[in-house]
Structure 1
């Protein structure tokens, strides 16, 4: 329902007419940090025998956006690898096994920037929708030998909403939130053992510069 609401809001925004905030042909770069906050229930593996819990992480991020039309931009988000601790719990015994992984989540979005609403501090909201590709690597089961954990890459829909607060003609402070549909098939020693549903909210702040 959260993702459906973001998509609906993005579609509504693209049909609205407002004063032009950013002209076509403008580039912007945003440098900051984001916290990946996985959903609370990350599913089970081995036919329900093992419960999965994925912890969050924060890392520096950078994004570039090109405005293909007035107020409408295409943005690419990149980051250094996020690190996640994973707790695998035997449902029957309560015994826990720790694991870890790293991932890169490049995300491409089509965004609409609002203007002309006389918001406090001349703040300008924006909203977007796009696609996320998550590449998992360096998976590891702790305190085990001879066992290999593998998480498949994921492709899913992403929603984006945020607020730019200008403090100069071409510079702004940004706060934003993204929802990413991230689900990955897990393998143990090459055998499928189920799906891990991370599907996080991603919260961030950044410095934005227009060119």
Structure 2
């Protein structure tokens, strides 16, 4: 009887885990907004001027397809982020200003901790992937031809899904993106800009 009870209890636990796991073949779509917070030290250009990149917030959308139970492939997209930047001398005096826009699509493999009896049925997740950032509409106050190269780097992702309906949830997440770009002015290399931001977001998630 004890062995039978143990077998039945184990089977029930496995059934519960399977029932609450996000099954392979599931799709989710998340729509929200993300805040890009660049690192504080963004590099030095022309070996003289330190770079300071401002933050920005924009609407975002992501889609995720589950290739296995609780394991998904996610693509994050957004409308262009806009950043103002300043170039300062060694004393912190503003010498030049500029602007740029960028798109940072990010592809990640993610694991969702579903079926673990979290409070409020919260579903944490973690992910790692690759970020590709393309820059455009670069401008500088001197009127020169500023060009920022595209960037490819590692991206990390962590977050929580808080369900409020069987197929709907509220998401809070944070990402780290390794974004570095080589800068040139009028065709001459002037150094590297290191943005490498933390990206914080909220979103509405729908499961299909």
TM-score by length of 2: 0.89
Counterpart for residue 98 of structure 1: 97
Q: How does 1:113-152 map to 2 (within 5 A)?
A: 113-142=112-141, 144-145=142-143, 147-152=144-149
C-alpha separation in 1, matches of 2:204 and 2:173 = 12
**Which sections of structure 2, spanning at least 5 residues, go unmatched?**
1-15
Which has the greater radius of gyration?
2
**SS in structure 2 of the partner of residue 88 of structure 1:** strand
Task: From the superposition, tell whether residues 23 and 189 of structure 1 become closer, same or farther in structure 2 (CA, over 3 Å).
Answer: same
Residues 124-164 of structure 1: per-residue CA shift (max 9 Å, x gap) = 0000000000000000012x23x111110000000000000
**Which sections of structure 1, spanning at least 5 residues, go unmatched?**
1-17
**How far 1:116 moved relative to its partner?**
2.7
Counterpart for residue 44 of structure 2: 44
Q: 2:164 aligns with which of 159, 163, 167?
A: 167
Q: 1:204 aligns with which of 198, 201, 204?
A: 201
Aligned length: 191
Counterpart for residue 19 of structure 1: 17
C-alpha separation in 1, matches of 2:115 and 2:73 = 21
C-alpha separation in 2, matches of 1:180 and 1:19 = 33
C-alpha separation in 1, matches of 2:69 and 2:88 = 51
Find runs of 4+ consecutive structure 1 residues off by over 4 angstroms. none
Superposed CA RMSD:
1.3
TM-score by length of 1: 0.88
